[in-house]
Amino acid sequence: SELIRGFLLSGMPCPSSCPPGLLALMAPGLALMATFSLPSQAGDRRALPVEKPPGVKGRTLILLDVNTKSPVRIISENFLSLQLDPSIIHDGWLDFLRTDFLQFHNVKNPAKSRGGPGPDYYLKNYEDDIVRSDIALDKQKGCKIAQHPDIMLELQREKAAQMHLVLLKEQFSNTYSNLTLTARSLDKLYNFADCSGLHLIFALNALRRNPNNSWNSSNALSLLKYSASKKYNISWELGNEPNNYRTLMGRSVNGSQLGKDYTQLRSLLQLIRTYSRAHLYGPNIGRPRKNVVAFLEGFMKVAGGTVDAVTWQHYYIDGQVAKVTDFLKTRLLDTLSDQIRKIQKVVNTYTPGKKIWLEGVGMTSAGGMNNLSDSYAAGFLWLNTLGLLASQGIDVVVRHSFLDHGHNHLVDQNFNPLPDYWLSLLYKRLIGPKVLAIHVAGLQRKPRPGRVIRDKLRIYAHCTSYHNHNYVRGSITLYIINLHRSRKKIKLAGTLRDKIVHQYLLQPYGKDGLHSKSVQLNGQPLAMVDDGTLPELKPRPLRAGRTLVIPPLTMSFYVVKNVNALACRYR
């Protein structure tokens, strides 16, 4: 499943059998979201009374078992979502996106959007701007996709490069041009989402204020009425990182006031028959520092019962000072856990059990750093983020972003997949929504007084995705992050013992090592077959009972076949 936010663009390709999902749109831009399920937390460990096999040194062998009776968490089918920056609405760039751009064939996914892609377009004449070629949406026959000349992709690449420079200039000068969403743009976006099997979430502009600082909803009401007249199935938000409005825009809105604004928006939705039961998400705050926690408390007091899920954002590193070694620090990997606990504490105080979304996450802020946040090394943070969020009960995560002006994205300016794209694609294909508890022996060291042990080997487990027909129900998928500079050996025990295992080992490809922007799967480099075709992701079968050998500084997935796990037999 996939989502997009900001311009959130759910961008992970999916097999034709993938389940339905959502698409989301947020002001001041548009976005799509893509979601995936996550494995269980590496912190759930209990020693196993299993004897060491002869000839294997105890200090290097790790024994691993999984509780197969019941899941510890069940995450949304739309867990992993993606964002496309709202800036793509600049200069008509929206016209260049196609329904096959994301490889979303027969996929139904959530997507969050603050601006967004539209139906297929092609250039009939290079000098003649864009000639529209509408997608014919037929509920019986589906969407008919226009054929595109070869020059289309070249124009996409040119426009992406131009946009990249313009937006970097705006970012560093802290001055931003206005983005205007027209009815025609919304039509394009919705058609793109609908034909791609995405659900659209639209974030309205919260900065239109009355003299008393209450939200001016007149513009939003016009958009709601237009969307309803077209019978567009859309969910809604209001604003983006409202705690930063004073810094970025010179306007200040506190949590209580935004709560009142959300209550007003809910009342508007209930007045319009099409949206009387539409979903509403917010407040999409920034990292929960002290002032942001206070903002969230004010919001929850007023509007906690109004929203269907509480949303926030998290970025790990200051993009201006990041080094490749930062991505290997366990202390950095663990910062997200503390942020989750802060958000959950506030939410559970006012609305116990309310769903929580991490609606914007990136490895680095300020657009990221070239050759770092778009490199293989950044994948350690990304995969661990997925594991932590799923194991701690976060329902949806939105990755910033599929394509934007910085270096946190999943494809480069030529639309070539970057390491995190392949990582996300494997996650989507192999990981189901049921999170399983793991039990490990031989990994945890005895802590010294006053010292926290931070594991460099992180293991998560899920039921294998029901939508992957290569594996029968009851199979289990492990994914493992090895931050050690030495290989680690894992022996599967208990219910996993003597089962055939399929290995998907991701390593950097080429001479750049951890800085590489290319990856290899089981020793074979990954690259698109052509502009519209993904390569086959072939596993390496391991014989039953074989010890798993995890190379240093790698990420890997292991499908344990035919476990017949009770937790995984039924949806």
Q: Which of 134-143, 299-308, 338-347 has the lowest mean pLDDT?
A: 134-143
For the ranges 123-137, 190-204, 240-254, 554-568, the lowest mean pLDDT is seen at 123-137
The CATH number of whichever domain residue 378 belongs to comes to 3.20.20.80
Residue 403 has pLDDT above 80, yes or no: no
Whether 441 has a pLDDT exceeding 80, the answer reads yes
Same structural domain, 457 and 402: no
Least confident among 57-61, 411-415, 517-521, 528-532 = 57-61
The pLDDT assigned to 52 comes to: 42
| pLDDT at 123 (0 to 100) | 27
Residue type, 244: N
What confidence category does residue 138 fall into, taking pLDDT thresholds of 50, 70 and 90? very low
**Does some domain include residue 289?**
yes
Q: For 565, how many CA atoms within 13 A lie in the half-sphere containing its CB?
A: 35
pLDDT at 442 over 60: yes
The whole-number pLDDT of residue 156 equals 60
Read off the pLDDT of each residue in 68-82 and give the average, rounded to a whole number.
93
Report CA 135 to chain centroid distance, whole Å: 27
Distance CA 447, CA 193 (A): 51
Question: Is 0.95 surpassed by the pTM of this model?
Answer: no
Q: What value, to the nearest 5°, has the Cα angle with vertex 454 and ends 358 and 513?
A: 80
Compute the average pLDDT of residues 229-243.
94
Sheet harboring 61-66: ordered strands across? 438-441, 61-66, 488-492, 548-550
Is residue 279 located within the same domain as residue 338?
yes
Distance CA 36, CA 55 (A): 40
Mean pLDDT rounded to a whole number for the chain? 77
Read off the DSSP letter of residue 429.
Answer: H
Burial (CB count <10 Å: 0-12, 13-18, 19+), residue 21? buried
Distance between CA atoms of 540 and 357, rounded to whole angstroms? 35
In a domain, 520, yes or no: yes
Residue 244 or 446, more confident:
244
DSSP for 65-125, written as a single string: EE--SS-SEE--TT-EEEEE-GGGGGGGGGGG--TTTTT-SS--EEEEESS---S-EE-SS
Which of 433, 449, 473 terminates a domain? The answer is 433
Q: What is the mean pLDDT of residues 173-186?
A: 69
188 and 234 in a single domain? The answer is: yes
Last residue of a domain, one of 384, 414, 433: 433
Residue 5 lies in a domain: no
pLDDT tens digits along 111-130: 555 433 222 222 222 223 33
Whether 94 maps to a domain, the answer reads yes
Sign of the torsion angle spanned by Cα atoms 25, 31, 32, 35: negative
Q: Are residue 248 and residue 227 in the same domain, yes or no?
A: yes
Predicted pLDDT of residue 96: 53
Rounded CA gap, 551 and 533, in Å? Answer: 30
Based on the domain organization, do 468 and 357 belong to the same domain?
no
Quote the tokens at residue 534. Answer: 């993904």
Same domain, 179 and 239: yes
* Same domain as 350, residue 206: yes
More confident residue, 44 or 501: 501
Number of domains forming the structure of the chain: 2
**pLDDT value of residue 474:** 96
Do 396 and 451 belong to one domain?
no
Cβ proximity of 401 and 9 under 8 Å: yes
3-state secondary structure of 280: strand
**Number of Cβ atoms within 10 Å of the Cβ of 5:** 44
- Distance, in Å, from the CA atom of 110 to the CA atom of 173, rounded to the nearest integer, reads 34
Q: Judge contact between 108 and 197, C-beta under 8 A.
A: yes
Distance between CA atoms of residues 537 and 63, nearest Å: 28
Interatomic CA distance for residues 320 and 341, integer angstroms: 27
3-state DSSP call for residue 138?
A: strand
Q: Which residues span the domain enclosing 541? A: 61-69+438-568
Q: Is 411 in contact with 418 (CB distance < 8 Å)?
A: yes
Q: Please indicate whether residue 357 or residue 29 has the higher confidence score (pLDDT).
A: 357
Does 152 reside within a domain? yes
Is 90 exceeded by the pLDDT of residue 420? yes
Name the band, by pLDDT with cuts 50, 70 and 90, for residue 352.
very high
For residues 421 and 442, membership in a common domain is answered with no
According to the model, what pLDDT value does residue 38 have?
29
Residue 94 has pLDDT above 70, yes or no: no
Residue environment code for 26-35, b if the CB has 16+ CB neighbours within 10 A, otherwise e: bbbbbbbbbb
411: its two tokens:
């494809």
The predicted structure's pLDDT at residue 448: 52
Region of 548 please: left (phi>0), alpha (psi -120 to 50) or beta.
beta
Question: Do both 428 and 479 map to the same domain?
Answer: no
Per-residue pLDDT reduced to its tens digit, 545-569: 999 999 999 999 999 999 999 999 9
Quote the CA–CA distance of 415 and 156 in Å, as a whole number.
9
**What residue type is assigned to position 468 of the chain?**
N
> Which residue, of 433, 463, 490, is where some domain finishes?
433
**Quick one: 125 exposed, middle or buried, by C-beta within 10 A (0-12, 13-18, 19+)?**
exposed
- Asked if the model's pLDDT at residue 484 lies above 80, the reply is yes
The tens digit of pLDDT for each residue in 7-56 reads: 333 333 343 333 333 333 333 333 344 332 223 334 333 334 334 444 44
Is residue 23 helix, strand or coil? strand
Q: What is the model's pLDDT at position 60?
A: 61
The C-alpha torsion from 204 through 207 and 208 to 212, rounded to 10°, is 130
pLDDT recorded at residue 327: 85
Do 274 and 291 belong together in one domain?
yes
**CA 37/CA 79 separation, integer angstroms:** 5
Residue 182 inside a domain? The answer is yes
The answer for residues whose C-beta is within 8 angstroms of residue 372's C-beta and 6 or more apart is 322, 323, 324, 327, 364, 378, 407, 515
In contact, 109 and 195? CB cutoff 8 Å:
no
Three-state SS letters, 454-502: CCCEEEEEEEECCCCCCCCCCCEEEEEEECCCCCEEEEECHHHCCCCEE
pLDDT of residue 17: 36
What pLDDT, on the 0 to 100 scale, is given for residue 201? Answer: 86
Q: Using only C-alpha atoms, what is the Rg of the chain?
A: 23
Identify whether residues 481 and 352 lie together within a single domain: no
The tokens for 459 are 């293991």
Tell me the one-letter amino acid at 428: K
Q: DSSP secondary-structure letter at 148?
A: -
CATH for 496? 2.60.40.1180
Residue 342 lies in a domain: yes
Does residue 18 belong to any structural domain of this protein? no
Give CA–CA dist 322/505, Å, rounded: 26
Q: What percent of the chain has pLDDT over 90?
A: 51
Bridge pairing between strands 109-113 and 23-25: parallel
d(CA 404, CA 87): 8
